[in-house]
Amino acid sequence: MKAETETENMTGKRTSAGIMALLGLLSAALFAGMPAKAANPDFQRAMDLYESKDYQEAFVLAEKLAAEDYAPGYTLLGKMYYNGKGTERNYKTALANYLKAAERGESTAQYMAGVIYLLGKDVRPDPQEALKWLSKAAAQGHGRAASTLAEAYMDNPTFPKDYKEAARWYAVAIDKTGNPKLMMQLAALYEKGQGVERNAEEAAKWYRLAAKTGHAPAQVALAKLMRHAKTTTEMAVEAASILEKAAYSGNVQAQYDLGEAYFEGRKGVPRNPEKARKWLTTAADGGNTEAQFMSGLMLYDGIGGPVNKEGAAAYFAKAAQGGHAQAMNNRAAMLETGDGVAKDIQAARELYSAAAQKGNTAAKINLARVGGLRMNVDEAGTPLFTSTATAQAAGTDQPPQRSSASTTANPDSGPDKSTSTIRSGGKERKPESAGGTQPAPEGKAASDGTSAEGKRKQSARSSQAKETGTASQEGTHIRQKTEHSGQMTESPDAPPSRI
C-alpha cells in the first residue's frame, strides 16, 4: 500500500524512527487488555502508582505480583522492562514476563510477545512465533493485535502475502478500534479486488465511514473513487464537497487535486482559474512538486491573477529541487535570459543539463544551443520553455519543427521561451487560454485571456495551427486543448520575449 494511505504499519518495514514511534504507541495501549479492576488489591495499587508515574513503587509491587504467579503482574512487569520504567530497559526480560502472562491467557501480553518477535527487539525475528501470539490475542478481540496481523499479511517480507487474511483481520480491528486508517486499508482492498471481490460500493462505504471521522486522506480517496466511477452529477458534486473539506483541513494532496479540478473544469467543479491558482499555490507552499510547477506556469502567464515572474521563478526553483524536469528547463530559460531573475548563463547550463539527464527534450536542445552537449540542431538561439497557455498535453516532449507559418522574431526582445510540450503527471490539462496572452507591462496586471478579443485571437491561432500542423523554429510546438472545442490543436505561441 502506498504511503498516501497513511496507515500505521507495524510490519518490520519501518525506519528506525518509525519503529520508535510505534513503540511509544504500544506502551499507550498496554493496559487495554488488563482488567480495569483486579481482584488483587496489590495489582490495582501497582496500576495506580504506574499511572501517577511513581514507577519505583509500582515496580516493587509488580515484582511481588509476578513472584506470586499472578498473570496481570507478569504483564505489568513486562511493560516496565519494555519501557524502562522503574528499572533499566531490557527487552529480553520483558519478553520473558510477557510470555508467562501470555501462556496464562493475557491478551495484551500475547500481543506484546507477538510484536517483540515480529520486530526482533533484542531477539531474532521469528514470524512463526509472532503469528502464533498475535493470532491468539486477535482471537480474543485485541484490536491492535488484529491490525498488526493485517498489516503483516500486507507488507511484512517475513510473512506470506495474503490479502484475504489481511481483509479478515482489518475487519476485526475496525470493529474493535474504529480506526479510520484501517477503514481506508479495507476500502482499498475492495477497490482493487485484493483478497475480496472487487466492489466499488463496498469501498465507498468504508472510505465514507473513515471520511466522516474527519480523516482527510479518506476524504481524498473517496472523492477520487467517486470521480473515476460512473457517477451522476449529484455524486460528482458530493465528491467535490468532500475534497474541499479535505483541502480546508490542510491536506496537501487534496489541495492539489482541488486546484487541478478547478483548472481543468470537471463535473461538479466548474472551471475557475482564480480558485485553481489559490489551491495550487497553497499545495505548492505545502511542498507538492507538481503544484509548484503548475503555480509557476500560472504566475508567469497571469492565469487566475496578475503576472508575477519573480514568483514564477521561485516556484520553478522549488519544483526543480524536487526533481521536476520541466521546471528545471523553465527555470534555466529564465536564468539564461534574465527574465524575472538575475541572468546567470552558467546556472542555466547546469539546470539544462540536469533536466536533459532526466530525458527532457526541450532541455537537451537548449543545452546544445548554450553549449555542453553536441546535437544536430539549428542555431536558432531560442530556448524552449514550457508555457502555461496550454496547461498540458499528454505524450512525450517533441522538439520544434520547421514550418512555413513561422512567427516573426523580435531580435530586441531576447530569446523566445514560449514553447515546448506541456506535460504534468501524464494527464491532459485544459488551458485557461489558447496561448499568446501577453504579459502586461511591469506594475500592471495581465489579462487572463478570458476577454472576447482574447478568445477571438485564440481561435484564429488555433485555426492557423491546424492548417500548418507545425510551429516555427523561433516559436515552438505546443499541443493544447482549446477552451471552446476541447480538441487537441497545435499553434505557434507568442512573440519571442514571451513565455
The β-bridge partners of 191 are none
290-301 tens-digit pLDDT: 999 999 999 999
Nearest Cα residue to 10 out of 147, 188, 108, 160? 147
Locus of grid cell 539549428: 378
Query: Which residue ranges of the chain lie beneath pLDDT 50?
Result: 1-38, 373-380, 389-499
Specify the DSSP element, H or E, that contains 488. Answer: strand 488-491
How confident is the model at residue 355, as a pLDDT? 95
d(C-alpha 495, C-alpha 492), whole Å: 9
How confident is the model at residue 372, as a pLDDT? 55
How confident is the model at residue 158, as a pLDDT? 84
Which residues have C-beta within 8 Å of that of residue 295, sequence separation ≥ 6? 277, 280, 281, 284, 311, 312, 315
The β-bridge partners of 392 are 429
How confident is the model at residue 235, as a pLDDT? 72
* Rg of the Cα atoms in the chain: 30
d(C-alpha 230, C-alpha 477), whole Å: 35
Cβ(220)–Cβ(208) under 8 Å? no
Cβ(420)–Cβ(475) under 8 Å? no
Sequence ranges of the domains in the chain? 324-491
Task: Count other Cβ atoms within 10 Å, centred on residue 485.
Answer: 10
How confident is the model at residue 452, as a pLDDT? 40
